[in-house]
Amino acid sequence: MTATRLRWGALAWLLTLQFFVVEALAEARYTARYSRVGDVISTLGASDSPARQLMNASFVVQAVLILGGALLLRPALRGGAGRAVSALLGAAALGVLLVGVFPTDGNGTMHAIGAVLYLLGGGLGLVALAYAVRPHSEALGTAVVLLGMVAIAGTIFFLAGVTGYLGEGGTERAAAYPLPLALALTGIALWWVDRRGEEAPDSTSLRAERAREQARRAEQARARDTALETATRRHDGAGESDGIDPEDPWATTSRRD
């Protein structure tokens, strides 16, 4: 893929952090008492929220950024996991789009469908993304999969109504926040790899490199065994020459020595 395409895709995913900025602004303008532990995110986009238009616009922009980044970065995502990333993050993008277009106190059914699509698609999409970026960086893959597991666990607890520990709003945020965090992290990492001019090997080349290394070690072992065998034969030959009778008058001086 071209460097320009990679940079634009990385920028799109980095800009998904706009959600946190807009959420903080909407919360600051909320006239009633609002708690991130007790109140869900969608409350900031409801009709009684002074910043509802800003919050809902952020949801729509988030959908564009998630999907746009996934499409632009698709060539950088390896193997079958890369194809799964496009589908799962596409579902997440559709979900957050529905959340923004249909506020929670408007069309509640469509809003709920959108929320489920975003949470499930986002959590599973991060697991797939972790495998897709692992050839670039093991550390990046590990960080992304951990965020994905947090998102999946938060989604299960939120949908099952198990919110006593973190609260309804806190549990929803545990499910929703990892996606933009992981996408921004991935965008930065891929941009850094491109900036350094390093093309990370894919899984096939890694296997080929391991095979070459094994063959090299085997060749070294054969050479070592051959050298040891040659040295042993020389030592045995020297032992046989030492067995010549030094009193033999017919033996040459070099042989007696």
Q: What is the per-residue pLDDT across 18-32, written as a single tens digit (0 to 9) for each? A: 999 999 999 999 988
pLDDT range class, residue 200, cuts 50, 70, 90: very low
Among residues 5, 29, 61, 37, which one has the least CA distance to residue 194? 5
Two tokens at 138?
């093991």
**What is the residue whose two structure tokens read 């950088």?**
76
List pLDDT tens digits, range 203-255: 444 556 667 788 888 888 888 888 777 777 776 665 555 555 555 555 555 44
Please, what's the b/e burial string for 66-103 (b: 16 or more CB within 10 A of its CB; e: otherwise)?
A: bbbbbebbbebbbeebbebbbebbbbbbbbbbbbbbbb
Max CA pair span of the chain: 121
Residue 62: per-residue pLDDT: 97
Predicted model pTM: 0.74
User: pLDDT tens digits, residue range 80-113?
Assistant: 888 899 999 999 999 999 999 999 988 899 999 9
Q: How far apart are CA 7 and CA 76, in angstroms?
A: 11
Amino acid 2: pLDDT: 80
3-state helix/strand/coil string of the chain: CCHHHHHHHHHHHHHHHHHHHHHHHHHHHCCCCCCCCCCCHHHHHCCCCCCHHHHHHHHHHHHHHHHHHHHHCHHHCCHHHHHHHHHHHHHHHHHHHHHHHCCCCCCHHHHHHHHHHHHHHHHHHHHHHHHHHCCCCHHHHHHHHHHHHHHHHHHHHHHHCCCCCCHHHHHHHHHHCHHHHHHHHHHHHHHHHHHCCCCCCCHHHHHHHHHHHHHHHHHHHHHHHHHHHHHHHHHHHHHHHHCCCCCCCCCCHHHHC
Residue with tokens 């670039």: 136
**Which residue has 């093991």 as its token pair?**
138
| % of residues, the chain, pLDDT over 90 | 61
Mean pLDDT of all residues belonging to the chain? 86
